[in-house]
Amino acid sequence: MMRMLALVLAITVALPAAAADYRVGAGSTLGFLADFQGEKFSGQFKTFEATIRYDPADLASSKFDVEVDLASVVTGDSDRDDALPGADFFDVARTPKARYTTTGFRKDGDKVIADGTLTLKGKSKPVSLAVRFHSGSDATFLDVTTTLKRLDFDVGAGEYADTSTIGNEVAVNGHLVLVAK
């Protein structure tokens, strides 16, 4: 009788899912797409670290903490690559890192949204990311996207604040290859 009761309890009591901890593996990218004088250009940050805890079945236990080395930005254009770390843009001498931390996750239809705070150039603003978590045959991936307004963070000060020269909206995308800790 006791074994039967234990079996029934084991079947009917749902145990909470345990969120998995990950580190970012080789092949991960953190990029952006912006507009300069009507032309699109892309770039990426070569150096960033992320602490990821994620379980799509247990969003309450999930969290992201991402730190980006702003000096690692590359766009493939030497003039732009020299300018972006400067005081008018990322000001890496004063604020060498950007950081994004989640405050929570929510479902929006069949999509998952990560809500959090981005701190860039000393300014902290709420930012939401669309999240796609998927596993392949030999790897686990996390893709995130959002659109930021660069002037909310004073990126592109002085003459570069003109949005007819440099668009205000910047699409941000991350493709993280996750390795279980």
Give 105's strand partners: 114
CB 62 within 8 A of CB 53: yes
Give Cβ neighbours of residue 163 (< 8 Å, ≥ 6 apart).
Answer: 151
Half-sphere exposure of 103 (CA within 13 A, CB side): 9
> C-alpha 22: how far from its chain's center?
14
For residues 121 and 97, give the distance between their C-alpha atoms in angstroms, rounded to a whole number. 8
For residues 148 and 171, give the distance between their C-alpha atoms in angstroms, rounded to a whole number. 6
Q: Which of 9-13, 106-110, 124-128, 138-142 has the lowest mean pLDDT?
A: 9-13
**What DSSP designation does 46 have?**
S
Give the pLDDT of residue 106: 97
Give the pLDDT of residue 11: 35
Give the pLDDT of residue 157: 85
Q: What's the rounded mean pLDDT across residues 70-85? A: 97
Give the pLDDT of residue 16: 39
Q: What's the rounded mean pLDDT across residues 113-140? A: 94
Place of tokens 């004088």: 37
Between 6 and 65, the more confident residue is: 65
Phi, psi of 19 (to 5 degrees): -65, 140
CB 50 within 8 A of CB 64: yes
SS3 (DSSP) at 93: coil
3 pLDDT exceeds 70? no
Give 51's strand partners: 65
Give the pLDDT of residue 18: 54
Structurally, what CATH architecture does the domain formed by 17-180 represent?
Answer: Beta Barrel (2.40)
Q: What's the rounded mean pLDDT across residues 128-151? A: 93
CB 175 within 8 A of CB 29: yes
For residue range 40-65, list pLDDT tens digits in order: 999 999 999 999 999 989 999 999 99
For residue range 80-124, list pLDDT tens digits in order: 999 999 999 999 999 999 999 999 999 999 899 999 999 999 999
17 pLDDT exceeds 50? no
6 pLDDT exceeds 60? no
CB 129 within 8 A of CB 148: no
Angle (nearest 5°) at CA 181 between 13 and 74: 130
Q: What's the rounded mean pLDDT across residues 156-180? A: 95
Give the pLDDT of residue 138: 81
